[in-house]
């Protein structure tokens, strides 16, 4: 261990030498001596009594001290919880995988509770042979494991007219990133045999909303999956148990949950979710339609309004997530002064196409106010735009596809707030 650990070293002096010494020393330097700290000098209660045995928790849940890590909804967005949304607590998570219990939920007709033994998947329309699969029939197919983000097209939709919701859970939490186990949809469509005029599919949900969306056949045959597991275990009822469609990189609305039928056709169906909803009304009165791909986007998750800096000035870690519906994220830039200077963030963790990426930026905070932003670059060369650029392109009528750069103002106390810089 280096001399930096001596309690006599002044904090500022320590930080200077620690910067020169590199990362490991920096982390250790955040600590202090044992003197006067009963939490380390005295045995705690849990150190002196026997704990629960192995039968106490047959299906594990988080520590009681993690009860604040939960999905939350926004009251004024929730006219009726049956057709509403809650948000992933992004500021409480790290790495790239969203734990199943906190994946945001968006239902249009509540959660269908389906008995898998009674569940069927039907393929009909422009196929050589209409087919009905039981869950067991599906288990005969070769399956794949792939990590993808699902982002609702309405994520950040409340921020079009200005900074509004105070927390990345609410501004950016309509996203989750999960490892799916499922069957490439291509295998199932090939079994049914596509007719030559098969150009579109219409997946349909078995929930009360009977959700449907038109998807072009090229996408269906490319990377869509019929998934039955998430992060190794069965899909949660909230996420479409026992079967959901995975439509990598495309807006969440197309990822039909409780999947019961796929109709094959020669043109799109122009149903509600692709006409009155999930279209973007532009300034000139025209509406953008079929804007399926999710553009590259990023957000700093810590610090953020729900996650202030609690440790005071000095060595500080900024972290966040970035993703793109068109590929991977080779680079994220971070600024602490509202965009005057940009620094390349450190990417850490696996980099998969159409999946979340984790970034970090470590710096010495002098205790003065910060204007934090992150800017994602995706593997196609696309760079995340500012909110004002987006407004110039698309006006103010939009709800969907807001991938503008987010700003957090952090004051001297480390408290963060949702703001915009012009
Ligand atoms: N599928 C069905 N059957 N019913 C629904 O209400 N909601 C859609 C999509 N698939 C929905 C559905 C929307 S708008 C989104 S954003 C995603 O599911 C949300 O998926 P999640 O609940 O796993 O987060
Ligand atoms: Co949605």
Q: Identify the CATH number of the domain in which residue 392 sits.
A: 2.60.40.650
pLDDT computed for residue 287 by the predictor: 85
**Which ligand 1 atom sits nearest the alpha carbon of residue 109?**
6
Q: Is residue 74 part of a domain?
A: no
Neighbours of 314 (CB within 10 A): 18
Q: Is any atom of ligand 1 closer than 6 Å to the C-beta of 153? A: no
Neighbours of 39 (CB within 10 A): 7
Q: Check whether residue 335 and residue 247 sit in a common domain.
A: no
pLDDT computed for residue 173 by the predictor: 98
Q: Which ligand is nearest to the CA of 104?
A: 1
Q: Is any atom of ligand 1 closer than 6 Å to the C-beta of 239? A: yes
Q: Check whether residue 260 and residue 337 sit in a common domain.
A: no
- Cα separation, 319 vs 96, in Å, equals 12
Q: Is any atom of ligand 1 closer than 6 Å to the C-beta of 86? A: no
The overall average pLDDT reported for the chain is: 92
pLDDT computed for residue 17 by the predictor: 40
Q: Is residue 283 part of a domain?
A: yes
| Ligand 2 centre distance from Cα of residue 314 (Å) | 40
Q: Check whether residue 247 and residue 324 sit in a common domain.
A: no
Q: Which residues contact 178 (CB under 8 A, 6 or more apart)?
A: 97, 98, 100, 103, 147, 148, 150, 230, 231
Q: Check whether residue 279 and residue 137 sit in a common domain.
A: yes
Q: Check whether residue 167 and residue 228 sit in a common domain.
A: yes
Token output for 167: 């927390």
161-200 b/e (C-beta count within 10 Å ≥ 16 → b): eebebbbbbbbbbbbbbbbbbbbbbeebbeebebeeebbb
**Residues of the domain holding 378:** 297-419
| Ligand 1 centre distance from Cα of residue 82 (Å) | 12
| Ligand 2 centre distance from Cα of residue 280 (Å) | 14
Q: Check whether residue 238 and residue 379 sit in a common domain.
A: no
Q: Which ligand is nearest to the CA of 157?
A: 2
Q: Is any atom of ligand 1 closer than 6 Å to the C-beta of 91? A: no
Show which of 288, 322, 351 is a domain's final residue: 288
Q: Check whether residue 147 and residue 253 sit in a common domain.
A: yes
Q: Is residue 120 part of a domain?
A: yes
Give the helix/strand (H/E) hosting 235: none
pLDDT computed for residue 27 by the predictor: 56
- Cα separation, 368 vs 366, in Å, equals 6
pLDDT computed for residue 262 by the predictor: 98
Nearest CA to ligand 1 atom 8: 253
Q: Check whether residue 256 and residue 328 sit in a common domain.
A: no
Q: Is residue 251 part of a domain?
A: yes
**Which ligand 1 atom sits nearest the alpha carbon of residue 238?**
22
Q: Check whether residue 352 and residue 230 sit in a common domain.
A: no
pLDDT computed for residue 32 by the predictor: 85
Q: Check whether residue 264 and residue 143 sit in a common domain.
A: yes
Q: Is any atom of ligand 1 closer than 6 Å to the C-beta of 211? A: yes
Q: Is any atom of ligand 1 closer than 6 Å to the C-beta of 107? A: yes
Number of domains into which the chain is organized: 2
Q: Is residue 10 part of a domain?
A: no
| Ligand 2 centre distance from Cα of residue 241 (Å) | 17
Altogether, the residues listed in the chain come to a count of 422
- CATH number of the domain at 217, please: 3.90.420.10
- Cα separation, 245 vs 184, in Å, equals 10
pLDDT tens, the chain, 422 aa long: 333 333 333 334 334 444 444 455 455 456 789 999 999 999 999 999 999 999 999 999 999 999 999 999 998 887 788 888 999 999 999 999 999 999 999 999 999 999 999 999 999 999 999 999 999 999 999 999 999 999 999 999 999 999 999 999 999 999 999 999 999 999 999 999 999 999 999 999 999 999 999 999 999 999 999 999 999 999 999 999 999 999 999 999 999 999 999 999 999 999 888 887 888 888 888 888 888 999 999 999 999 999 999 999 999 999 999 999 999 999 999 999 999 999 999 999 999 999 999 999 999 999 999 999 999 999 999 999 999 999 999 998 888 999 999 999 999 999 999 999 97
Show which of 288, 311, 332 is a domain's final residue: 288
Q: Check whether residue 123 and residue 248 sit in a common domain.
A: yes
Q: Is residue 53 part of a domain?
A: no
Q: Is residue 27 part of a domain?
A: no
Nearest CA to ligand 1 atom 5: 107
Q: Is any atom of ligand 1 closer than 6 Å to the C-beta of 325? A: no
Helix (H, G, I), strand (E, B) or coil at 403: coil
Show which of 246, 267, 288 is a domain's final residue: 288
Q: Is residue 7 part of a domain?
A: no
pLDDT in tens, 65-117: 999 999 999 988 877 888 889 999 999 999 999 999 999 999 999 999 999 99
Q: Check whether residue 195 and residue 234 sit in a common domain.
A: yes
């Amino acid at each position: 261990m280096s001399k930096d650990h001596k309690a006599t070293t002044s904090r500022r002096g320590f930080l200077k030498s620690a910067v020169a010494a590199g990362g490991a020393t920096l982390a250790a330097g955040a600590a202090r001596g044992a003197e006067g700290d009963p939490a380390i000098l005295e045995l705690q209660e849990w150190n002196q009594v026997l704990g629960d045995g192995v039968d106490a928790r047959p299906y594990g849940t988080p520590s009681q001290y993690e009860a604040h890590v939960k999905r939350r909804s926004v009251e004024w967005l929730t006219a009726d919880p049956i057709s509403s949304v809650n948000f992933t607590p992004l500021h409480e998570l790290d790495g790239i995988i969203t734990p199943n219990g906190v994946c945001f939920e968006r239902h249009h007709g509540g959660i269908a509770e389906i008995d898998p033994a009674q569940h069927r998947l039907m393929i009909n329309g422009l196929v050589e042979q209409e087919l009905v699969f039981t869950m067991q029939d599906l288990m005969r197919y070769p399956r794949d494991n792939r990590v993808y983000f699902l982002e609702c097209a309405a994520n950040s939709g409340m921020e079009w007219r200005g900074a509004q919701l105070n927390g990345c859970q609410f501004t950016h939490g309509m996203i989750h990133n999960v490892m799916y186990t499922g069957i490439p949809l291509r295998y199932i469509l090939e079994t049914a045999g596509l007719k030559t005029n098969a150009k579109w599919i219409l997946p349909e949900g078995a929930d009360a909303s009977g959700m449907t969306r038109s998807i072009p056949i090229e996408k269906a045959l490319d990377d869509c999956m019929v998934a039955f597991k998430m992060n190794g275990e069965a899909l949660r009822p909230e996420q479409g148990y026992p079967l959901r469609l995975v439509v990598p990189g495309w807006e969440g609305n197309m990822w039909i949950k409780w999947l019961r039928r796929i109709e094959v056709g020669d043109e799109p169906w122009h149903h509600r979710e692709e006409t009155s909803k999930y279209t973007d009304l532009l300034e000139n009165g025209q509406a953008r339609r079929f804007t399926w791909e999710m553009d590259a986007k990023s957000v700093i998750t810590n610090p953020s309004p729900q996650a202030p800096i609690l440790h005071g000035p000095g060595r500080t870690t900024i972290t966040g997530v970035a993703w793109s519906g068109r590929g991977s994220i080779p680079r994220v830039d971070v600024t602490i002064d509202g965009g005057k200077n940009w620094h390349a963030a450190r990417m850490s963790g696996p980099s998969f196409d159409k999946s979340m990426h984790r970034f970090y930026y470590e710096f010495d905070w002098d205790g003065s106010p910060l204007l934090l932003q992150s800017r994602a670059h995706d593997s196609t060369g696309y760079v995340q735009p500012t909110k004002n650029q987006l407004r110039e392109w698309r006006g103010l009528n939009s709800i969907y596809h807001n991938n503008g750069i987010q700003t957090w103002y952090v004051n001297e106390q480390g408290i963060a707030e949702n703001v915009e810089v012009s």
